[in-house]
Amino acid sequence: MTARRIAVVSAGLSNPSSTRMLADRMAAATLAALAERGIEASVDTIELRDLAHEITDNLLTGFAPPALERAVNAVVSADAVIAVTPIFSTSYSGLFKSFIDVLDPDALTGTPVLIGANAGTARHSLAIDYAIRPLFAYLHAEAVSTGVFAASSDWGSHADDVAPLSARVERGAKELAEAVARREPVTAVDPFDPAQYLGEGRSFGHLLGGLAGE
C-alpha cells in the first residue's frame, strides 16, 4: 500500500515555539492514529518562520524561490495537512495567511485539514471556528470538525483537566486519520499534461467549441 504524506504547517514566530510544540503533537498523534488503521505515513514539517523572506518575495515577484517552492509542493501534494498558527489580533498570524496566499487557490481543494491554534489564554479559542475554518472552507479544503486549541496554561499547571490537551489532540488526529483512510492516496497531477487541461482524449478543437466542429 502506498505510504501517505502529511504536511504540517507551523506558523509560530519564536524559536522554540509553542505553535511548533502543538504541531508536533498533532503530527505524532495523527501518525499513531493512521498506524492503528494500518496506514503508513510520513510527515513533512514546514516551519514558516524559516521561509518568511521567501514568502514576501513570492508575494512581490509572483514566483517561489527554491526553498519555498519545495515547501509549497510538499503542502499541495500531501494526503492531509495539519495547519497550526498562533492567534494574533483575533485571527491567524499574518505569516500564516501570506503562506496561504502564495498557494494556488485550487491547490487544497478536497484536502483533509486538521486545524490547530495557540494563544496566551483560552479566551481566543473560538478564533479557530470564526477565522481559520472559513479560510479553509473558502479554499474548498475539508477541515475535520475538531480544531485543537492550546492556551499557554495547557502546557503547565492550570491546564484543562476535564478535556486535556492530549485528548483534544487525539480526537482531532483520529478524525484526520479517518479522513485520510477514506481517500485514495494522492497522485501527482501534471498541469502540463494535455489530458489535464483539455480533458482526456480531447483536442484544441474542443476549446474552440463549435468553432472547429468538435
Partner 1 sequence: MSDITSQVQFGIFTVSDITQDPTTGHTPSEAERIRATLTIAKHAEEVGLDVFALGEHHNPPFWSSSPTTTLAYIAAQTERLILSTATTLITTNDPVKIAEDFAMLQHVSGGRTDLMLGRGNTGPVYPWFGKDIRQGLPLAIENYALLHKLWREDVVDWEGKFRTPLQGFTATPRPLDGVAPFVWHGSIRTPEIAEQAAYYGDGFFANNIFWPAEHYQRLIGLYRQRYAHYGHGTPEQAIVGIGGQAFLAKNSQDAVTQFRPYFDNAPVYGHGPSLEDFSQMTPLTVGSPQQVIDRYAGMRDLYGDFQRQLFLMDHAGLPLKTVLEQLDILGGEVVPVLRKELAKNRPAEVPDAPTHAGLVRKAYGDGPAREARPRANRGDNLSGPSPYDDTPAPAGAAFGLAGGAR
Q: Does 56 bind partner 1 (CB under 8 A)?
A: yes
Q: Which is nearer to partner 1, 69 or 178 (CB)?
A: 69
Number of residues counted as binding partner 1 (CB under 8 A): 22
Q: Does 63 bind partner 1 (CB under 8 A)?
A: yes
Q: Which is nearer to partner 1, 130 or 197 (CB)?
A: 197
Residue of 50, 137, 207, 214 interacting with partner 1 (CB under 8 A): 207
Rg of the chain over Cα atoms, rounded to whole angstroms, equals: 19
Per-residue interface string for the shown chain with partner 1, residues 160-199, x marking contact by CB under 8 A:
-------------------------------xx-x-xxx-
Q: Does 208 bind partner 1 (CB under 8 A)?
A: yes
Q: Which is nearer to partner 1, 110 or 194 (CB)?
A: 194
Instruction: Let me know: does 45 contact 81? Beta carbons within 8 Å.
Output: no
C-alpha cell of residue 205: 478543437
Q: Does 105 bind partner 1 (CB under 8 A)?
A: no
Q: Which residues bind partner 1 (CB under 8 A)?
A: 56-57, 60-63, 65-66, 191-192, 194, 196-198, 203-205, 207-209, 211-212
